[in-house]
């Protein structure tokens, strides 16, 4: 049985355009480069109701698949930020 993970983020009013632009320029390309986009069903924003919310849905085979996915994503983030952190230390 598949597991769907729904993540909903509430943004400050008026920040949706900025958040969408950052995701398009940096977020999705980073997921795609690491091969982490394959489990993404989609990113959604409403046009009525809570219009300052951004929701993304992920599909996993089971809980182990979900945990392994997020561990790999966060490990990738650590590797991406390491050169920057090393430069700051030097």
Question: Where does the chain have alpha helices with state H?
Answer: 16-22, 28-33, 63-89
Which tokens hold the place of 3?
Answer: 């597991």
Read off the pLDDT band of 44 (50, 70, 90). Answer: very high
| Whether pLDDT at 1 is above 90 | no
Q: What is the torsion angle, in degrees rounded to the nearest 10, for the CA atoms of residue 75, residue 39, residue 26 and residue 87?
A: 10
pLDDT top residue among 34 and 4: 4
Tell me the mean pLDDT in the region 36-47.
93
pLDDT at 49: 87
pLDDT at 85: 47
Tell me the mean pLDDT in the region 32-60.
93
């Amino acid at each position: 049985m598949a597991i769907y993970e729904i993540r909903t983020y509430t943004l400050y009013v008026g920040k949706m355009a900025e958040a969408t632009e950052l995701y398009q320029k940096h977020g999705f390309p980073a997921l795609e480069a690491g091969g982490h986009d394959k489990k993404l069903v989609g990113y959604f924003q409403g046009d009525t109701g809570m219009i300052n919310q951004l929701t993304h849905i992920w599909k996993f085979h089971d809980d182990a698949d979900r945990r392994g996915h997020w561990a790999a994503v966060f490990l990738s983030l650590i590797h991406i930020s390491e050169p920057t952190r090393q430069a700051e230390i030097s």
